[in-house]
Amino acid sequence: MVNMKIAYIGGGSRVWARKLMYDLALEPRISGTVALYDIDLEAALQNEKIGNLISENKESLSKWHYVAVSSIEEALHDADFVIISILPGTFKEMESDVHLPEKYGIYQSVGDTVGIGGHLRALRAIPIYIDIANKIKENAPHAWVINYTNPMSICTRILYKIFPEIKAIGCCHEVFGTQKLLADMVKEMLKIERPKRSEIKVNVLGINHFTWIDKASYKNIDLFPLYKEFSTKYYDEGYQNEGNWEADYFASCNRVKFDLFKQYGLIAAAGDRHLAEFMPHIYLRNLETIEYWKFRLTPVKWRILEREQKIKENKKLINGEMDVRIEESGEEGVGMLAALLGLEDLVTNVNLPNYGQIKGLPKGAIVETNVLIQKDRVRPIYAGQLLPDLNNLMLRHLYNQESIVEAYLTKNKQMAINAYLNDPMVTLPRGQAMQLYDEMLQNTKSYLPDWILK
């Protein structure tokens, strides 16, 4: 059994930390220590207790020692792996990101990657990630880093900008949801047993939350003809494969996916809520349009209630009022750890600088493609090139992301403004757009430097 140390930055997490703990408990080939660092030390201390309860549970297949630490340096010392899962700012700032634009008629279904909300969240995240990158360089330069924080592309880009030799990957589960949809399709259209997600082989190319599939197969069957028939069949009514879109803020009817296939001939490989925010003003024009496409806006008020519910659950677990039930999360983070330790090979999609794995997109920009993960290495798999119409949309967002990063690093407020105005979701006249921008900057000013507030 391999023994190792994981540094968890954001170790007070009420959602992602529990998922990691469950998956580690179910992996019998590795064990070790997880150092939980969080600016909320009390939350990290709670997770220390929960993690050790999970490790001691009879269903656990491995043994882990969880310990909350008071400094990031202590967490990183002698770490083999670093996991980053944080909220840049608080729900107060996120409330402004997502809901203040609604006063101006701009609706965001998620608000954490692109659009106005993604822009402001990035401005808060960049200084935090500059510090994290420097701390990793000083204390754990050889560790592998797995980032889960959004905006994924910008956070991962900063890690490489500040510490070019870093061994970092950005991980996201959106493609997994599309593989599950394709598995459901195979079951229905071929009248066979539903395949496992891992049996659906796909070629992924794009950027985080705006990923696309140009090849998909099950065994020796090309799934594109099936998907054309399937998406046409369910184009109007939609297809709900996970949850009820009217009751679940994270569910949809996949109608945005089907519409994008009709437009571009490729399978959009993220959830409808994310995809809608990357497109010109089509799916988020107003509340009636959103309802027509059958997906939901995710209110920050709900996220606050969810956090309160998780806090109550944590207390019940610690007090023995709730049983520990270990279950797989569906994430691949622990599988990546196993592969990097040389215990298996793994092909999966991750976010990495573009070394040439996607032709037609800038070198160095963070892109999402399949990679081969083996002992102590991550090798991008050549993904090909998008056709010009879709590539143009991709470039607009990529250059916006690059502009936000460069604006922050060079203290160029005008460049940040230009990136904001260039986002497809900013549909206001310039005067109103700048009024909204100034309001939003003020609402998150405690996380921003003086140069961008002037």
Q: Which range of residues forms the domain containing residue 183?
A: 174-293
Q: Is residue 248 part of a domain?
A: yes
- Which SS3 state, helix, strand or coil, does residue 204 take? strand
Q: What is the pLDDT of residue 215?
A: 98
Q: Is residue 19 part of a domain?
A: no
pTM for the structure as a whole = 0.96
Torsion angle of alpha carbons 268, 271, 277, 279, nearest 10°?
Answer: 20
Q: Is residue 234 part of a domain?
A: yes
pLDDT of residue 2 exceeding 80, the answer is no
Q: Is residue 451 part of a domain?
A: no
For the stretch 149-185, pLDDT in tens is 999 999 999 999 999 999 999 999 999 999 999 999 9
| Residue 173 is a catalytic residue | yes
Q: Is residue 22 part of a domain?
A: no
- Residue 242's pLDDT band (cuts 50, 70, 90): confident
CA gap 418, 319 in Å, rounded: 52
Give the CA count within 13 Å in the CB-facing half-sphere of 381.
16
Angle, CA of 98, 104 and 105, to the nearest 5°: 80
Q: What is the pLDDT of residue 351?
A: 98
For the stretch 338-384, pLDDT in tens is 999 999 999 999 999 999 999 999 999 999 999 999 999 999 999 99
Q: Is residue 229 part of a domain?
A: yes
Instruction: Determine which helix (DSSP H) or strand (DSSP E) holds 214, and give its type and residue range.
Output: strand 210-218
Q: Is residue 65 part of a domain?
A: no
Q: Is residue 197 part of a domain?
A: yes
From the list 99, 142, 173, 209, the catalytic residue is 173
Total domain count, the chain: 1
For the stretch 264-291, pLDDT in tens is 999 999 999 999 999 998 999 999 999 9
